[in-house]
């Protein structure tokens, strides 16, 4: 784990002047560096996002992780959905946090994508942990945690109950665009890797990266702001880079060239062409 690691030793600063020095020893697949293949909201290019259909397909496609978006119902159930309203991806309307779990569960989260997915329900966080842990990694995004007070504790409790908060369970990562939430998550679950999401270049300055390195293990930028220099600096600070959202082969190839550690994609076959 990288937390608190290099700030104190000063090693980070010397590495920052030679950011590519670590790349030679990284594992490879053929001539390419080994990269984690993360199915974004499941294999969401082929099945409705954040549903079991999309997650099962990610498993079939041999992705390394599924990425999930966690929010909360009005009556406190953790559920998986990307937008803070149900309007785009279900047959209902309204804010996720204003609807009871029963109301959310009765919605059809599949047919907007294709009639073969009619009736796919919104999954719960806990059922997805139970169904997939040990089969595929889970990259857990806390979506807009600022509107769900205490969601960090709830997520931590669900992981602890399942013994998923220990170092041997490496394939759980928690990430968010909300950095304060991730600092809190790191305090609650110090052994679980933490990621910070950004599409803002202001979050990629050396000062920002040094701050992230005090609590995060992953810096996860949108691919439009990824450079080799950024990847080298994040690596020099002992963290990894996971970038999103890949929806073309060109974007995947660009990120391979940049030397990122994980590619977050709607199409796992762009990252692992065996599928
Ligand atoms: O995992 C990265 C990505 O999910 C962040 O953006 O909007 O798709 O949740 P978004
Ligand atoms: Ca997400």
Q: Is residue 192 part of a domain?
A: yes
Domain residues for the domain of 221 are 35-270
Q: Is residue 186 part of a domain?
A: yes
d(CA 23, CA 35): 13
Least confident of 28-37, 89-98, 246-255: 28-37
In tens, the pLDDT along 155-212 reads 999 999 999 999 776 699 999 999 999 999 999 999 999 999 999 999 999 999 999 9
d(CA 253, CA 170): 26
In tens, the pLDDT along 94-134 reads 999 999 999 999 999 999 999 999 999 999 999 999 999 99
Q: Is residue 60 part of a domain?
A: yes
40 catalytically annotated: yes
Q: Are 252 and 32 in contact (CB under 8 A)?
A: no
pLDDT number for residue 8: 42
In the chain, the number of structural domains is 1
Q: Which ligand is nearest to the CA of 244?
A: 1
Q: Is residue 16 part of a domain?
A: no
235 catalytically annotated: no
CA 188 from chain centre, in angstroms, equals 18
- Reference 246, options 234, 258, 254; nearest CA is 254
Q: Is residue 15 part of a domain?
A: no
d(CA 73, CA 84): 11
CATH number, position 56: 3.20.20.190
Q: Is residue 6 part of a domain?
A: no
Pocket of ligand 1, beta carbon within 6 A: 40, 67, 69, 82, 141, 197, 220, 244-245, 264
Mean pLDDT, all residues of the chain = 92
Would you place residue 32 in the very low, low, confident or very high pLDDT band (cuts 50, 70, 90)? confident
CA 269 from chain centre, in angstroms, equals 18
Q: Is residue 10 part of a domain?
A: no
pLDDT number for residue 24: 46
Q: Is residue 19 part of a domain?
A: no
């Amino acid at each position: 784990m990288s937390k608190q690691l290099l700030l104190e030793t000063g090693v980070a600063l010397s590495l920052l002047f030679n950011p590519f020095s670590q790349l030679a020893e990284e594992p490879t697949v053929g001539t390419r560096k080994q990269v984690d293949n993360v199915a974004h909201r499941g294999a969401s290019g082929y099945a409705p996002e954040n549903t079991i259909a999309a997650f099962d397909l990610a498993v079939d496609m041999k992705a390394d992780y599924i990425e999930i978006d966690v929010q909360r119902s009005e009556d406190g159930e953790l559920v998986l959905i990307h937008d803070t309203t149900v309007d785009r991806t279900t047959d209902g309307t309204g804010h996720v946090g204003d609807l009871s779990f029963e109301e959310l569960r009765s919605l059809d989260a599949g047919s907007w994508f294709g009639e073969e997915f009619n009736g796919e329900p919104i999954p719960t966080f806990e059922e997805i942990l139970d169904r997939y842990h040990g089969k595929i990694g889970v990259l857990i995004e806390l979506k807009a945690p600022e509107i769900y007070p205490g969601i960090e504790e709830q997520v931590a409790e669900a992981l602890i109950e399942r013994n998923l908060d220990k170092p041997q369970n490496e394939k759980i990562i928690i990430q968010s665009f909300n950095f304060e939430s991730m600092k809190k998550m790191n305090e609650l679950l110090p052994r679980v890797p933490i990621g910070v999401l950004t599409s803002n270049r202001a979050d990629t300055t050396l000062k920002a990266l040094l701050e992230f390195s005090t609590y995060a293990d992953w810096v996860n930028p949108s691919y439009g702001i990824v450079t080799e220099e950024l990847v080298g600096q994040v690596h020099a600070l002992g963290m990894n880079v996971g970038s999103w959202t890949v929806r073309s082969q060109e974007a995947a190839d660009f990120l391979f060239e940049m030397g990122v550690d994980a590619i977050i994609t709607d199409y796992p076959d762009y990252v692992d062409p065996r599928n």
